Amino acid sequence: MRLKPIGEQVAVVMGGSSGIGRLSALRFAERGAKVVVSARGEAGLRSVVDEIRARGGEAIAVTADVAEFDGVKAVADAAIEEYGRLDTWVHIAGVGLFATFEETTPEEFERVIDVNLMGQVYGAMAALPHIKREGRGALVHISSMGAKRAIPLQSAYCASKHGIDGFLEAMRVELRHEGWPIGVTSIQPATTNTPFFDKARTKLGVKPVAPPPIYGPGIVVEAILHAAEKGPRDLIVGGASRAMILGQTISPRLLDAIMQRRVAFEAHYTGEPKPEDAPDNLFESMEGPNTIEGSFSDRAHPRSLYTWLQTHRTVKRSIVAGAVLGAVALRRKAA
């Protein structure tokens, strides 16, 4: 699939005020793309646009709640009005809820689905007509390793990520059947150090985190930039994510047994108290933190060899070929 170089693209980043989205917007702009950033909070959006422009880049901001289709469509329309086209749509916006299923209310579960699943659906619906008009482009959807293996205390979140897998698979095949050179990529990160956990709703009594290891957001952003130019089907970010998905493929019952142990539950607990009525961003925008990194920088891995190899296929093939040739040579020598 031959997509435009990033420097020739107009890229929309949904969820661009903090975390992975903020760093994505900055990196797209650094490489010459014109960027449209969107989120619910105006202050965070203004700051990222100011930062891009201060570095000599081009960017505009459009506030939107991804759970409302008209708002999402307005973001796509703004890209066309400002820059005349839309090449890449990166959908990152999402919310979290950490609670047992029994403690989750119908309204909370529905809201997670509305933002994390329907928001992604609305993004693809809004972007596709404009990308088709260009004749090629990329839809980059940030999912999770939770799309392949659900985690306790995250039932609504993992359900929403499983749903993303379903609609992307169907849409991808439809576009291929029609002959469109449009990349549809699902990016599935492991636990990532962003303000997501600071803003999430929790009923655990403490600020939550997801099971380790934790990776730096830059690893995910490099996968996003790769997807915008190459359009791969799936990109798993972090060797831990690959291991979890592989374990689910080989033996779901074994993973069930492992997760039934206390460690799978205790891994969500930090030592920082956070009452159930503390501010969160589930239903409303939350002021700050509009940073790229979250509270776990001291234990976040800045690199992932596994992910680097996925985005550098030529090197990966060379390593595999070298290993095979080496094994053949050793066997002949032994013979």
pLDDT one-digit tens code per residue, 81-118: 999 999 999 999 999 999 999 999 999 999 999 999 99
Class of domain 6-303: alpha beta
pLDDT tens readout for residues 36-85: 999 999 999 999 999 999 999 999 999 999 999 999 999 999 999 999 99
Scored b (16 or more CB within 10 A) or e, 110-119 reads: ebbbbbbbbb
pTM: 0.92
Question: How many Å apart are CA 139 and CA 164, to the nearest integer?
Answer: 13
Tokens of 31: 């490489």
pLDDT band of residue 183 (cuts 50, 70, 90) is: very high
What average pLDDT score do residues 229-255 get?
A: 95
What average pLDDT score do residues 266-291 get?
A: 94
Quote the DSSP letter at residue 98: E
Q: Of the listed 157, 215, 269, 306, which one is catalytic?
A: 157
122 catalytic? Reply is no
Note the pLDDT of residue 321.
Answer: 46
Centre a 10 Å sphere on the Cβ of residue 17 and count the other Cβ atoms it contains.
29
What average pLDDT score do residues 283-303 get?
A: 93
Tokens of 41: 């909070």
